[in-house]
Chain A
Amino acid sequence: DTGVSQDPRHKITKRGQNVTFRCDPISEHNRLYWYRQTLGQGPEFLTYFQNEAQLEKSRLLSDRFSAERPKGSFSTLEIQRTEQGDSAMYLCASKAGTTDTQYFGPGTRLTVL
């Protein structure tokens, strides 16, 4: 068990550019979650996958955001045409279906200039 990993840890981009983040969950965890955390706030739910199926999306996930988990293992979160308001920490978590605890990765901090 190597924990949830995220890549990159930091990303600085210019407004209007596209960015993609990757999350590798704990092996054998079939559920994967994305959250967004802005400065001074708690994380907010964005979306979650059970295996490769995206089962819930928050209204926070605008049409510029897309998430995938093509083989039910790692997941990617893409933001198109980034805006300054997208600057935040993007957290990934995973959970085994039989448990109630989500395990979080270290996050990807996005700064949009």
Chain B
Amino acid sequence: AQSVTQLGSHVSVSEGALVLLRCNYSSSVPPYLFWYVQYPNQGLQLLLKYTSAATLVKGINGFEAEFKKSETSFHLTKPSAHMSDAAEYFCAASIQGAQKLVFGQGTRLTINP
């Protein structure tokens, strides 16, 4: 069965520091992979996605992620954190051709001034 694991339910970094949010997937075939961000009391906004094209994917707000098949990973990074990045981040996967998204449990990112 397909699953997504996000290591670390809570990550705290200083403003200007590197952000690294980890995501590993379990699937018999490489899935499509997504990172979404959720601000309090709001829905999910797409940050970026991997759909079997380039393995390094750039998204909005300076975020990027790299698909590594050998490590079954899709970690999210941002070189310099901003206070506005504080939110909940979700990694999700879908098997090509399937409809539903399978989400990780989320990582809450806190930015310290």
Contact = CB atoms under 8 A, between A and B. Distances in A.
Interface of A: 4, 6, 31, 33, 35, 40-45, 48, 55-56, 58, 91, 93, 100-107, 109
Interface residues of B, number: 24
B18 interface: no
Interface in B91-110: 92, 94, 99-106
Interface of B: 4, 9, 32, 34, 36, 41-46, 49, 51, 90, 92, 94, 99-106
Contacts of A6: 43
Contacts of B44: 43, 91, 93, 104
Nearest to B52: A100
A56 B99 contact: yes
A101 B49 contact: yes
